[in-house]
Amino acid sequence: MGKKYFTLSFDDGLEQDKKVLELMKKYGLRGTFNLNSGMFGLQGEVKGIGTFSFQDCEAGIRHHWPFSYVPHNRIPEDEIRDVYAQMEIATHGYRHEPLGKVNDSMMQRSVNQDKEILERLTGKQILGHAYAHGSTSPAVEQHLKAQGYLYARAVLPSGGFEYPENPLNFRPSSSVIMGNTMKLVKKFLEAEADDRDLLLYLWGHSYEMDYGKGAASWDGLERLFAAVAGREDIIYCTNSEAFLRI
């Protein structure tokens, strides 16, 4: 008989993660936070249209409508261990590099620096990566594998629950702010694992909840967490636990 796994993934290491963590603990959920160790403590905002964010900006630099802005302040290094103590940490590029678009030397340096710093801060082995901008390549995947990585996540949704054939370049089930995610959760709750394991993998950025629009809101995130939580037939786990199938 197969098992059903649920995990969450949030990028960038932001102050809003603290509120996400409160909600996760409230509903008994687990997940992984993907950090850029070369950007700890940086202050800024994210520029977007609606709930589509596309550019990091220095705080206070504003353009006119139709752009919207929300805080994008990264947690400082001396808080990392305590903030994420009960969750998994993974790499996300030392300075958020698109690993598939930079040269091999820069790619390897980004991965290695990020991994070394995060392992020193946490005292734990780093097993996962989230591709900044979804950018990867066969060379990136080979390097991650050589460094002992178990999984690496892209950004485009799969819309399903199948375990990926290639865990070093897999698509998440969906994003926490997509309009159809609640329907996907309902489908997952009703699904029977039968003879295979199922994985519902949702990702996002905690700043997206500050937009306050539909699923991209703190109320929307709490409704999502409440809908998926508290099921005896679901294993709530970190990303690496999902791939180790603990």
CATH number at residue 136: 3.20.20.370
- Dihedral angle sign, alpha carbons of residues 104, 134, 229, 3: negative
Host domain of residue 73? 4-244
Reported pTM: 0.96
Q: What angle do CA 148, 154, 155 make, to 5 degrees?
A: 155
pLDDT tens, 185-235? 999 999 999 899 999 999 999 999 999 999 999 999 999 999 999 999 999
- Residue 50, pLDDT score: 82
In percent, how much of the chain has pLDDT > 90? 89
pLDDT at 55: 80
Q: How many CA atoms lie within 13 A of 104 on its CB side?
A: 5
Tens of pLDDT along 18-68? Answer: 999 999 999 999 999 999 999 999 999 998 888 888 788 887 777 777 888
Quick one: pLDDT at residue 54?
Answer: 76
Return d(Cα 80, Cα 194) in angstroms, integer: 40
| Cis status, amide bond into 98, omega within 30 of 0 | no
Question: How many domains does one find in the chain?
Answer: 1
The shares of helix, strand and coil residues in the chain, as percent rounded to the nearest 5, are: 35, 25, 45
What is the Cα–Cα distance from 98 to 137, expressed in whole angstroms? 10
Decide the pairing of beta strands 67-71 and 128-130. Answer: unpaired
- Cα 52 to the center of its chain, rounded Å: 16
Enumerate residues 6+ apart whose C-beta is below 8 A from 162. 198, 199
- The pLDDT value recorded for residue 246 is 86
Average pLDDT, the chain: 96
